[in-house]
A and B are shown apart, each in its own frame.
Chain A
Amino acid sequence: DADVTQTPRNRITKTGKRIMLECSQTKGHDRMYWYRQDPGLGLQLIYYSFDVKDINKGEISDGYSVSRQAQAKFSLSLESAIPNQTALYFCATSDGQGYTQYFGPGTRLTVL
């Protein structure tokens, strides 16, 4: 089984809808991250969490919110989806600031 899982893997939604992307990990890592990848580009950080009570905004947090329900679960919500949020969304985990980040398989989101 994969160490970092994301659901759904693909999602098509309409402008104005609320949508939640979920991430679960079995690696036992404290740190979790949400990134966004636009076509042909690298990844940009949306939110990150050091533990259940520590959540921080990244560089492109506007229009997004997150919830760390447990050490192993970190959800990303789009409160009112818009077309330019169409992208590939990745969850990642690491065992500390100095360590490698391991990515989930990604969620491909299309907002019509």
Chain B
Amino acid sequence: AQKITQTQPGMFVQEKEAVTLDCTYDTSDPSYGLFWYKQPSSGEMIFLIYQGSYDQQNATEGRYSLNFQKARKSANLVISASQLGDSAMYFCAMRGGQGGKLIFGQGTELSVKP
């Protein structure tokens, strides 16, 4: 069965520091995609970054990077130079199963301290 696991229910980080949010996945499909979404308190789901299973390099989008370790089945999100506006829930998701649906983890609540 396909599964996403986020083991950190909540995390704190000091403003301007880097933070890593953990995500491990389980799938038997050779082709898959991994996503990170941000959900602020207002509720919307904001796409941050994508990593394909065949991508040779780690994905980067501005201050976001994805530390993809295929053998370990991990896809951790690294946020550099944290900002107060980064405080939110962060969800790791994997594309798989029915119609390309996204399978979500439980989320990590990140709080950035001034």
Interface, chain A (partner B; CB < 8 A)? 31, 33, 35, 40-45, 48, 50, 56, 58-59, 88, 90, 92, 94, 96-98, 100-106, 108
Contact = CB atoms under 8 A, between A and B. Distances in A.
Contact of A50 (B44, B47, B50, B99): B99
Task: Summarize A's interface: helix, strand, loop or mixed.
Answer: strand
Given A42-B104, A42-B107, A100-B35, A31 B99 contact: yes
Contacts of B91: 42-43
Interface of B: 4, 33, 35, 37, 43-47, 50, 52, 91, 93, 95, 98-102, 104-107
A78 B107 CA distance: 27
Contact of A103 (B44, B50, B101, B105): B44
The 4 closest A-B pairs by CB, nearest first: A42-B104, A97-B100, A103-B45, A45-B101
B101 A33 contact: yes
Nearest to A107: B43
Contacts of A101: 35, 47, 102
Contacts of A42: 4, 91, 93, 104-107
Nearest to B9: A40
B99 A97 contact: yes
Contacts of B52: 98
A33 B105 CA distance: 18
A1 to B, nearest CB: 15
Contacts of A106: 43-45
A94 B100 contact: yes
Contacts of A98: 33, 52, 95, 100
B55 to A, nearest CB: 12
B47 A48 contact: no
Given A90-B45, A100-B47, 17 more contacts: A33-B99, A41-B106, A42-B4, A42-B93, A42-B104, A43-B93, A48-B101, A56-B98, A88-B43, A92-B45, A97-B95, A98-B95, A100-B50, A101-B47, A101-B102, A103-B44, A108-B43
A101 B102 CA distance: 8
A24 B73 CA distance: 36
Contacts of A94: 100
